[in-house]
């Protein structure tokens, strides 16, 4: 408990948790309602939706590997800006492609590659921050980042439900994109703070806990 309190008193770690929660919150505003979107707006039948979601899962796995390699190559901040930027763009594009089956499917597959590509970078980054600001609680800091991930999912689903009730399914992707833009801004801010107080050397992405 004392270690958790120590972590939660570190502003730089709280900023990473905010990046995680907001980034995934934006994703799940739309992803929570992906199946209804594909059925009601795209016009796919339930069997086709299931197949699209299956292939989406493969795309997620590929994106996770790609994201880890990108974080190792460019560093977590640069990688996260690229991935969050791609994610926001894909969500925005989906707003316009959702009504056309083949375009919607193509967009969803690209979405999968970006949706979880930021997992390795976020976990590497939180370990780096913990090594500097809470060196005796690195495991706790990494675990709390997973909690932030789950919090983002929950808040995104809740917010998406409100959007659907008030405005309809078609508004979830672009609003999700706007939320992901906030994650980009938080990431840039954190990167600027790192220039003032540099972090330890990069931790390889395969040395941290995955969130899924």
Summarised one tens digit per residue, pLDDT across range 37-86 is 999 999 999 999 999 999 999 999 999 999 999 999 999 999 999 999 99
Task: Say what the pTM is.
Answer: 0.89
Total domains, the chain = 1
pLDDT bracket for residue 108 (50, 70, 90): very high
Mean pLDDT calculated for residue range 173-187: 97
> Is 9 within the bounds of a domain?
no
Domain-located, residue 80 = yes
Label each residue of the chain as H, E or C: CHHHHHHHCCHHHHHHHHHHHHHHHHHHHHHCCHHHHHHHCCCCCHHHHHHHHHHHHHHHHHHHHHHHHHHHHHCHHHHHHHHHHHHHHHHHHHHHHCCCHHHHHHHHHHHHHHHCCCHHHHHHHHHHHHHHHCHHHHHHHHHHHHHHHHHHHHHHHHHHHHHHHHCCHHHHHHHHHHHHHHHHHHHHHHHHHHHHCCCCCCCCHHHCCCCC
Residue 135 counted as domain residue: yes
* pLDDT in the model for residue 204: 42
Residue 95 lies in domain:
15-198
Percent of the residues in the chain that have a pLDDT greater than 70, as a whole number: 92
Q: For residue 6, is it within any domain?
A: no
Q: Residue 97: give its domain's CATH number.
A: 1.20.1250.20
């Amino acid at each position: 408990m004392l270690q958790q309190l120590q972590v939660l008193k570190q502003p730089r770690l709280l900023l990473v948790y905010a990046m995680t929660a907001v980034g995934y919150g934006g994703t799940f505003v739309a992803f929570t309602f992906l199946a209804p979107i594909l059925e009601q707006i795209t016009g796919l039948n339930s069997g086709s939706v299931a197949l699209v979601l299956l292939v989406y899962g493969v795309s997620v796995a590929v994106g996770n590997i790609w994201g880890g390699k990108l974080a190792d190559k460019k560093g977590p901040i640069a990688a996260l800006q690229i991935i969050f930027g791609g994610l926001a763009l894909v969500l925005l594009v989906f707003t316009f492609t959702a009504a056309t089956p083949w375009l919607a499917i193509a967009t969803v597959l690209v979405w999968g590659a970006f949706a979880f590509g930021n997992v390795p970078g976020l976990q590497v980054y939180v370990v780096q921050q913990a090594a500097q600001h809470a060196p005796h609680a690195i495991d706790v800091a990494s675990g709390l980042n997973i909690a932030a991930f789950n919090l983002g999912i929950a808040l995104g689903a809740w917010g998406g439900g409100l959007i659907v009730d008030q405005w309809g399914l078609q508004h979830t992707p672009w609003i999700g994109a706007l939320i992901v833009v906030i994650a980009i801004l938080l990431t840039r801010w954190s990167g600027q703070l790192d220039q003032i107080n540099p972090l330890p050397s990069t931790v390889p992405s395969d040395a941290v806990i995955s969130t899924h």
